[in-house]
Amino acid sequence: MQVGVPTRDKRAAALFADMPGAESLVLAALEGQGRVLVDSPVHPRCGVAAAGDFLYCCGVPGVEARPLLRRAMGVCQDWLIYAPGAWMDVVQSIAPVKLMTRVAYEQHQPEDGHLRSLLKAMPEGASFQPIEGEWFDWCRQAEWSRDFVSLYSDEDYQQHGLGVLLLVNGEAVAGASSYVSYPGGIEVQLQTRDDRQGRGYATLAAAKLILMAHERGLMATWDAANEASAHIAEKLGYVKKGEYQVAVIDK
């Protein structure tokens, strides 16, 4: 008997309540950009949500927790795993892990006026290009921009995704996009090309994307993987909620 019941019941989101950084990705998983597995379809006590590179473990892990988590993990070894309480023991029974610190932010949105003021620093020769048409395919080909669109088909991105590239003299050097989409919002994915780091390009791309989201009536939520991302978030106007740890398999 296979362990783990797939669900798209929106009520399952309550199992993951108050988890830092989880809300947008769990909602995206329930919408089909990932999956949610629970131990019971009627009265679930624990579950695992998988979206993108993230796994969120919830509830009280019982006897089915380990096989449920293994099913959610599949053959991938690159998960970022949020495993509160006894879940960490379950994770460590599967593979040795090390911990990484991330920063969660409140859903409170930056002010549009502030974002527009940041865009006044656009350098000469710079312009924005929405990620659409041939640019969607271009993002798939370039390693640094692949995650802008990796969780979408072309059609899904047209319907639910949102992104922008920053071009300097016609050359893409940075961008911001929806890592996932969920009802009422997007989770921001940000990247600068390696040879153009440290010039403020990522901040400009993020400011533009957030304004685009707000124009569509969407929230743009943020979760920081490192100090650079945290610095940009606070420069944009996001409010820090707190730090939390995720487990990664120690290879």
Q: Give the whole-number percent of the chain exceeding pLDDT 90.
A: 84
What's the pLDDT score for residue 41? 83
In angstroms, the CA 154 to CA 163 distance is: 13
> What local confidence, expressed as pLDDT, does residue 176 receive?
98
State the pTM of this model: 0.93
CA distance 137 to 155: 12
Distance of CA 26 to the CA centre of its chain: 10
Q: What is the pLDDT of residues 112-145, one digit of tens each?
A: 999 999 999 999 999 999 999 999 999 999 999 9
Domain range annotation of the chain: 5-95, 105-243
Closest Cα partner for 37 from 9, 68, 65? 68
The dotted CATH code for 105-243 is 3.40.630.30
Query: What is residue 1's predicted lDDT score, i.e. its pLDDT?
Result: 43
CA distance 124 to 234: 25
Q: Report pLDDT for 4.
A: 74
| Average pLDDT in the chain | 93
Q: Answer yes or no: are the C-beta atoms of 8 and 30 closer than 8 Å.
A: yes
Q: How far is CA 137 from CA 9, 32, 153, 170, 194, in A?
A: 33, 22, 10, 17, 20
Task: Summarize the confidence of residues 57-62 as an average pLDDT.
Answer: 93
Residue-level pLDDT at 130? 98
Q: Report the percent of the chain where pLDDT is more than 70.
A: 99
Q: pLDDT grade, residue 2 (50/70/90)? A: low
Of 142, 234, 117, nearest in space to 192 by CA: 142
Q: What is the pLDDT of residues 224-249, one digit of tens each?
A: 999 999 999 999 999 999 999 999 99
* pLDDT value of position 200: 94
pLDDT of 18 reads 84
Least confident window among 72-81, 136-145, 171-180? 72-81
Cβ atoms 82, 56 nearer than 8 A: yes
Same CATH topology for 5-95 and 105-243?
A: yes
User: pLDDT value at position 117?
Assistant: 98
Q: In CATH, what number does 5-95 get?
A: 3.40.630.110
For residues 158-173, give the mean pLDDT.
96
For 84-121, the pLDDT digits (tens) are 999 999 999 999 999 999 999 999 999 999 999 999 99
